[in-house]
Amino acid sequence: MTRATTLGVVVLDDIAIERARTGDLGALERVYRAYEGLVYSLARRICRTEEDAEDVLQETFLEVCRSIRGFRGTGPGSLTAWVKRVAASKALMRIRRQKYRDADELPEDGSLAAQRPPDVGLQLDLEAALTRLSETSRAVVWMHDVEGYTHEDIAEMMGKTVSFSKSQLARAHTRLRGWLGEE
Amino acid sequence: MRKHCTMNELLALREGEGTAWAREHLDGCSFCQRELELLHGRVAALRALPAIRPPRDRWTVVREQAAREQRGTRLRRTAWGALALAASVTLMVGVKALNSPDGPMPGAEETAMTPELTELMSRSRDLEAALESYGTDGRVLNARAAGIIAGLEDRIAVVDAGIVQAGVRRDTRGDLVDLWRSRVDLMDALVNAHVTRAAYVGF
């Protein structure tokens, strides 16, 4: 029913997916094992803390257990996209619940030339720079640039406008550019 | 007059969009060409960040809750089927007794469906539907909420068994109404328990 790739990722076949859709907890566990890393990584990149990411992992798979009966896609590829979508929604819901807002604002002149030259002593690696972004900016940059969601998708999931998503992405990159220096 | 592209413009250029001014400027500006390269490099680096494994296994918790929810759904579906059957038997017996060629049979009024009973059954069905809609909420139950919900589900199961038995015994209308009223009250409390945990969220 399942096979492991050379990278250790468990790939589900159609039979395993079909059994999971019947509510078979054994098959659902295989779905969990196949996607827990992917879901946790996405959640950890978006959420502020490890605990929040773990809660998103749990909420995502509870939702998968509840709703997989209605999953109409075929094949592991569409299941992956669906699970990721559920995880992204859960992570965004968590951000919304925490009512975290980005307090810092862009300078009036947002052009790159207007930014101060980076202080080498303050330069950060990418992981650290990501954690310094607001949750909203980090979520947008991760979902758009890494997960491949469009601004329309992100706006829909966040309950915001497309321009909000675009401005958050620009804000995130401006910050990362400043913190990372010449990269 | 602006000197260089903003980040918004660089992002648009990356997507193959961007204004005519930005495209023309980019062709002749080594600073902005470098910034666009850095943007591509930054995104590549983001994509290359390693996957993170969850520090703890959450499957046991997920499994327990999923199994509990599956049991609850099955119980409610089974119970509702039995209740519908009991109700139809009550209705059939009541109508037959009321419409007997020799006139209404003794006690017929007591077993026939009444508007009150119909209303309670309809309300119960609505609450079942509401519960289904909250069942898709992905929030995690804490131990206290889980205990309250499990307790209510148990009490509903007892009332359901009572309704089925009352139908078999052809109990009086008053008994049935009391049982259905109890069911509606408990279902109402159960929906409330789910609604309470589905707190409003907003940016």
Secondary structure class of B19 (helix, strand, coil):
coil
Residues in chain B: 203
| B155 in the same domain as B63 | yes
Q: Which among B5, B53, B140 has CB closest to A55?
A: B140
B111 CA: distance to closest CA in chain A (Å): 40
CA distances from B69 to A32, A66, A164, B141, B188 (A): 17, 8, 38, 11, 18
Let me know: does A42 contact A147? Beta carbons within 8 Å: yes
| B100 in the same domain as B139 | yes
This complex has an ipTM of 0.79
Let me know: does A62 contact B146? Beta carbons within 8 Å: no
A111/B6 Cβ within 8 A: yes
Task: Supply the range of the domain harboring residue B186.
Answer: 59-197
| B166 in the same domain as B85 | yes
| B42 in the same domain as B123 | no
Q: Classify residue B53: in a domain, yes or no.
A: no
| B175 in the same domain as B79 | yes
Q: Encoding tokens for residue B169?
A: 């015994």
Residues of A in contact with B62 (CB under 8 A): 32, 58, 61-62, 65
Let me know: does B13 contact B36? Beta carbons within 8 Å: yes
Taking a contact as any Cβ pair under 8 Å apart, which residues of chain A between 112 and 171 contact chain B? 112-113, 126-127, 130, 141-142, 145-146, 158-160, 166-167, 169-171
Residue B200 contacts A where some CB pair is shorter than 8 Å? no
| B113 in the same domain as B22 | no
Size of interface A-B (CB pairs under 8 A): 137
- Domains parsed from chain A with CATH numbers: 2-98 (1.10.1740.10), 112-180 (1.10.10.10)
Nearest CA in chain A to B49: A127
A167 CA: distance to closest CA in chain B (Å): 7
Cα B160 from Cα B189, distance rounded (Å) = 16
- Ranges of H-type helices in B48-114: 59-98, 108-111
Q: Classify residue B2: in a domain, yes or no.
A: no
pLDDT (tens, 9 = 90+) of chain B, 203 residues, equals 568 999 999 999 998 888 899 999 999 999 999 999 999 999 999 999 998 999 999 999 999 888 888 777 666 666 666 676 666 666 555 555 555 556 555 555 555 567 888 888 888 888 887 777 665 444 555 667 777 877 888 788 888 888 877 776 666 667 788 888 999 999 888 888 877 765 433 33
B56/A37 Cβ within 8 A: no
Strand partners, A11: A3
**Is the pTM value of this prediction over 0.80?**
no
User: How many separate domains does chain B show?
Assistant: 2
Residue B28 host element (H or E): helix B20-28
